[in-house]
Structure 1
């Protein structure tokens, strides 16, 4: 990474699958598209080759040196053998004098007017071999490209991979690439995904633009592992995704952190050492093969595959049930978007523990006549024969008896699907659900509404909203 900043039916629903133990891939990803498990052994073998390229050439892979050119030759050879259309793009303006080329590889299938692009910078700094920064992203990306070629699934959209030159000198290679595209060519790129430092030893799990539509599959995969990723604030404007952002192309990506320090809350959530840098060898000679977090690398590589399969694999004929990324910010951890309504109810509420993470939506609880609601627009996948809106609800009340004074309802396009009330209070967090099967293939507005009468409060605590289906 560059070192300077550049600018529901009443009752219990089906329980979600348990989070996968640390360091393993999930037995099944949250999708019917069956993205493959990316071999960590193969990714590490690519890292070994990049390390060797540095060792033969002064100990680094700087864009102007032979270590970088040897890295390009290795990646290019693997891609060509797999059947990719591979282009070495010289950076003829804006790059450091003597910088090697960008490497672009496209799989010759899928709709060429809808390109999903995945990239990582292949160069490093002069100080060391650059195994985490950014051999990790480069190697994970290469094995994903090779896996796509081996699997050779039917593609509905085009997939393009890129390994950038001269990132460490100012994002120069990726800037040259995007800058020299025609406006028509830029418009064909529907999203760009960037992978820079995805194996930091003391790292966290960060997603670029985590609440955006582009980020949805990336976040969904790490959510499926129980990682509760956060926004990549440290990397904003500091890696190659920024070159695409400047031209209005949607971007996302994974990172595990550079020189910023892990907070105590992050250490409690992810492990590691609070107060220490995510990568203790950032831009240093010790960024060697021993500076690789293999668990994080494995999770990033598999999350890339999940995103490739979500965005490009399949016929696109409406027959796929892919519920994982339908609900945005379902755990309320990333601000309030895309929720609308009484969004002030979304917060880390003192004295109220969230079901997961630190934030939740607390509707009602006023003890007076009031109505509060939060909602968002979602598209229920057309291929789902069963679709369930699942969420966790905690009802606490000062009411007594069997009469429903205060209510909590789930509505779709204004029609009520399910209702709970003060009568159902007690028991702490309970998973509830509402049936959305009848809305398969439709874009609808889902709203949670709490209504209280004139006295005695009932609070409805809502968290971890998601869609499941088959």
Structure 2
């Protein structure tokens, strides 16, 4: 996990089997990653039903991958860092497993700190490619050590979950994509490169990105990202099923590879078992382990070796990955008439700058409808002062209401219809409101889009 900017993310998972093996095509590209073969808003978290039983991931399989990553680091100067031979050898190992299991793998190259970096993307054939469930982990270590908990644990857990998809011969309703990122420890360089080079239309097809960065901490806790209530609920449901309490991840926002996805409006979630933060007495009572000590005392150190793993945490973390993949990948895409709503109040300054309220639309196929319904509830003492626009994800503005000196009523509570058929449906939509005259005040009470 990166020390650089913003958040740190939790993670956890589990999986099982069946058999399938087809050799997949490999593409080397410096652009966005959508393999040629595949061209083509909830309140508080609640338990999520899994339509198909998620498999139990054998922890021994996950540990076997970790042992390989440790051997690679040992043979390559003690680390698997960006620009070092240990990183490329790690990527080749993961890619080889996926190729043999029938995935379509793509290697993306980028440059950082004067060295070539790599991202690895693996697509499972089938599922609706307009609705992508993306699961990822960073593959690199720091230069100080082999990076086995950070993030060999997430790398191995996501890999084994992907291989479980192959063993089960899973036929998901949504398209499954997996990613292993380079140069995360330098500030999420690889994942930023991927997201920044992904066309807007392809971003809009990603229903969820789940990040798993450190899932085997030796003095573990179980921290779930709260960026999206549905994705938070999926992981909480898994841990509730094994009677393990969770906490919300609060160690800053943006310290791992979910951040670039979140920053462009993609829904994100994940699991984290703790780093150099100190475990409290209350957390030790809840999860076991030792209070007053770090969750991972070897964080970013040479001692982050294969001995620096808690098997129980690794098992639960890997099982939670599988649970999320199965839960999200086998659910039905949203039906027409889906409502996306923001009920948070936004104050509108009197005779001031425009303000916005955002709604993130995901899981909708293709473009927005020609009769997109925009429902607005604005409380204001003189509605004639207000100019209201709907702003699409690409920045295009659609005027809903002009100001008028003859419109002296209170409030704007109305439905508008917008021809948004030229706009990709998925993404961040905004209601933009400006008060252009003095003496009256108000706020956005709520608004919603109906697709």
TM-score, normalised by the number of residues in structure 2: 0.64
Q: Which residue of 2 aligns with 1:434?
A: none
What is the deviation of 1:211? 6.1
Is 1:70 matched with 2:89? yes
Secondary structure of 2:164's aligned partner:
helix
Contact 1:24 1:295 in 2 (8 A): no
Unaligned runs of 5+ in 1: 8-22, 319-337, 341-470
**Structure 1 CA distance for aligned equivalents of residues 88 and 2 of structure 2:** 19
Distance 1:292 1:228 in 2: 20
The alpha-carbon distance between structure 1 residues 145 and 75, as it changes in their structure 2 partners (threshold 3 A), is same
Residue 146 of structure 1 corresponds to which residue in structure 2?
163
**Contact kept in structure 2, 1:99 and 1:166, CA below 8 Å:** no
Shift of 1:99: 3.6
Which residue of the partner structure matches residue 196 of structure 1?
A: 213
Give the counterpart of 2:323 among 298, 306, 313: 306
Give 1:236 shift: 2.4
2:275 matches 1:255: no
Q: Tell me, yes or no, if structure 1 residue 171 matches structure 2 residue 171.
A: no
- Is the contact between residue 228 and residue 267 of structure 2 (CA under 8 Å) also seen in structure 1? no
Residues 407-444 of structure 1: CA deviation (Å, up to 9, x unaligned): xxxxxxxxxxxxxxxxxxxxxxxxxxxxxxxxxxxxxx
Shift of 1:339: 12
Q: What CA deviation, in whole Å up to 9, does each residue of 1:126-180 have, x standing for no partner?
A: 1110100000000000000111011112210001000000000010000000011
Q: Is 1:80 aligned with 2:119?
A: no
Q: In structure 2, do the counterparts of structure 1 residues 97 and 270 end up closer, same or farther at CA, with 3 Å as the change threshold?
A: same
The match for 2:66 is: 47
The answer to whether structure 1 residue 289 and structure 2 residue 289 are counterparts is: no
User: Equivalent of 1:158, from 141, 152, 175?
Assistant: 175
| Residue equivalent to 1:213 | 230
Say if 2:273 is the partner of 1:268: no
Cα separation, 2, equivalents of 1:272 and 1:24: 22
Residues 1:59 and 2:78 are matched in the alignment: yes
Q: In structure 1, which of residues 122, 125, 138 is the aligned counterpart of residue 142 of structure 2?
A: 125
* Aligned partners of 2:182 and 2:190 also within 8 Å: yes
Look up the SS of the partner of 1:192 in the other structure.
Answer: strand
Three-state SS of the structure 2 residue aligned to 1:198 is: coil
**Structure 1: distance between partners of 2:187 and 2:133:** 24
1:225 — aligned with what? Answer: 242
For the 8 Å contact 2:218–2:310, the answer to whether it is kept is: yes
- Alignment partner of 1:44: what SS? helix
Structure-2 separation of matches of 1:190 and 1:49 = 32
Tell me: CA distance 1:134–1:187, structure 2 relative to 1, closer, same or farther (3 Å).
same
> Secondary structure of the equivalent of 2:229?
coil
Report deviation, 1:316: 6.8
Q: Secondary structure at the match of 2:276?
A: coil
Contact 2:140-2:184 within 8 A present in 1 as well: yes
- Number of residues paired by the alignment? 302
Q: Does 1:4 align with 2:31?
A: no
* Residue deviations 1:64-88 (CA, integer Å, cap 9, x gap): 1000000000000000000100001
Residue 100 of structure 1 is matched in structure 2 by 117
Is there any run of 5+ residues in structure 2 with no aligned partner, and where?
A: 8-12, 17-47, 336-341, 345-451
Equivalent residues of 2:15, 2:318 under 8 A apart: no
SS at match of 1:178: helix
* CA displacement at 1:24 relative to structure 2: 11
RMSD over aligned Cα, in angstroms? 2.4
Give CA deviations for 1:29-64 in whole Å, capped at 9, x if unaligned.
964511111111110000011001101100000011
Higher relative contact order (CA 8 A, sep 6+): 2
Go from structure 1 to structure 2 and tell me whether the alpha carbon gap of 1:210 and 1:228 turns closer, same or farther (over 3 Å shift). Answer: farther
Alignment check: 8 A CA contact 1:38 1:147 kept = yes
**Counterparts of 1:102 and 1:46 in 2: how far apart (Å)?**
18
Distance 1:233 1:99, change over 3 A: farther
Report the equivalent of 1:15: none
Residues 8-19 of structure 1: matches in 2 within 5 Å? none
CA contact (8 A) 1:80 1:86 kept: yes
Checking the alignment, whether the CA contact within 8 Å between 1:234 and 1:257 is kept in structure 2 is no
**1:296-375 aligned within 5 A:** 296-313=313-330
- Distance (whole Å) between structure 2 residues aligned to residue 262 and residue 312 of structure 1: 34
* Residues 235, 83 of structure 1: alpha-carbon distance in 2 compared, 3 angstrom cutoff: farther
Give 1:36's aligned residue.
55
Q: 3-state SS of the aligned residue for 1:112?
A: strand
Equivalent position to 1:280, from 294, 297, 311: 297
After superposition, the C-alpha distances for 1:303-360 in whole angstroms (9 at most, x for unaligned) are 1111111111267799xxxxxxxxxxxxxxxxxxx999xxxxxxxxxxxxxxxxxxxx
CA shift, 1:4, in A, is: 2.5
